[in-house]
Every structure is written in C-alpha cells, then in structure tokens.
Chains A and B, each alone.
Chain A
Amino acid sequence: MDKEEIRAKTEAFRTILTEYGSNLEPLEKELLEVIQRYQDALREEKLKEIRKSI
C-alpha cells in the first residue's frame, strides 16, 4: 500500500468509527432506558405488594 492508499483507508477508518459511535450511543441509551423502565416497574410492583400485605 502506498501512502495515498493508506491515507484513504485511514479516512475510511475514521468514517466507520464515527458512524459507529453515533449509531451506538442512541442504541445504548435506548437499551438502558428499557432497563430503567423495568426497574421502575419492579419498584411499583413492590409498592403494590407492600400495600397489599399491610
């Protein structure tokens, strides 16, 4: 590979990682939001259980 090719590939490399980073972030956020909603639902359930048992 000559310098130009390596330079072009390096550019492509940057593009791939930038695209990856910008796509991964919202997906990770969305996944953690689902987990958060699940944990909220568990807490809600626990509250209901306590109210029921008291």
Chain B
Amino acid sequence: MSAMAIATYILVSVFAFAYVIFFVVITIGGFFDLVKLINGIRTEVVDPTDDGRVQRPGA
C-alpha cells in the first residue's frame, strides 16, 4: 500500500469518527436552539421598520 493510500485511510478514519461525535453534539444542541428560537419569536417585540428598507441619515 502506498504512503498516500495509508495517509488517506488515516484521514478518512479520523474524520469519520469525529463526524459521528460531532453529529450527536449538533443534533442535541440544535434541539435546544430550536426551543429557544420558538420561545424567542413568541415573546419578541416586533419592529415594523425592520423590513429591508434603508434609512439614510437626515431622511
């Protein structure tokens, strides 16, 4: 097996393992963020001017 092939397999194994751990963390974290988003939108104070308009100084 060539050095490049060995390096590739090591890289693939490390990233694949890290990815599985990462996925679990992000899925759990994402669920809590989702709950916070829904609560935040429910209780927010709406700014009707925040709609994409550009307000220039003095206008």
Tell me if chain B binds chain A. no
Which residues of A does B touch, CB under 8 Å?
none
